[in-house]
Amino acid sequence: MWATGCILGELLIHRPLLPGKTELDQINRIIDLLGTPTEKIWKGIDELPALRNFHLRSQPYNKLKCVMERASDSCLQLLNGLFTYDPSLRICAKDALRSRYFNEPPYPCDASMMPSFPQHRNRKRKRKSSDCSNN
């Protein structure tokens, strides 16, 4: 579900949302965007083995609304559900699909209105019998 939030975010801002170069850079970018996870919002985070010898810098604010300037309230609510730190509290796919975001403008167009593309020119061609005769 977290990855779905990343993809939705990228579609909305037309660029990578969290383009981390290393694991540490990625963690810092997540904290910059969503704030520092605390025991209050992610019960058990202090017990995670990977974080025992690691200090997360303090950034108390969620900046999704600043980054997603044009996003509706329902879109921000969906993104916050997808980006909930505690996996046990993160929105599930079924609930995400029920989000009000999917029922507000812009509405999806009818499938018949979608552009079509010609078949790929490199599709498999029938082999001539002469191509295989020398083997």
- DSSP per position, 8-59: HHHHHHTS-SS--SSHHHHHHHHHHHH----TTTSTTGGG-GGGTT--PPP-
Q: Give pLDDT, residue 124.
A: 63
**Tokens encoding 46:** 């202090």
- 3-state DSSP call for residue 99? coil
CATH no. for residue 6?
A: 1.10.510.10
Greatest CA separation for the chain: 73
Q: Give the pLDDT score at 127.
A: 55
Decide if 122 is inside a domain: no
Classify residue 49: in a domain, yes or no: yes
43, 89 in Cβ contact below 8 A?
no
Number of structural domains found in the chain: 1
Are 12 and 75 in contact by the 8 Å Cβ rule? The answer is: yes
pLDDT band at 114 (very low <50, low <70, confident <90, very high): confident
Q: Give the integer Cα–Cα distance in Å for 36 and 56.
A: 7
pLDDT confidence of residue 108: 82
Identify whether 95 is part of a domain. yes
Q: Is a pLDDT exceeding 60 seen at residue 133? A: no
Q: Which amino acid is at 72?
A: S
Nearest to 24 by CA among 61, 49, 5, 50: 50
Q: Is residue 17 a part of any domain in this protein?
A: yes
Q: What is the structure's pLDDT at 116?
A: 82
15-49 pLDDT per residue, tens: 999 999 999 999 999 999 999 999 999 999 988 88
Domain residue limits at 16: 2-102
The confidence score (pLDDT) of residue 41 equals: 92
pLDDT of residue 28: 94
Does residue 115 fall inside a structural domain? no
98 within domain boundaries: yes
- The whole-angstrom separation of Cα 95 and Cα 89 is 12
Task: Using alpha carbons, select from 72, 77, 68 the residue that is nearest to residue 10.
Answer: 68
Residue 77 lies in a domain: yes
Residue 109 has pLDDT above 80, yes or no: yes
Give 59-107 pLDDT, tens digit per residue: 999 999 999 999 999 999 999 999 999 999 999 999 999 999 999 998 8
Residue 47 forms part of a structural domain: yes
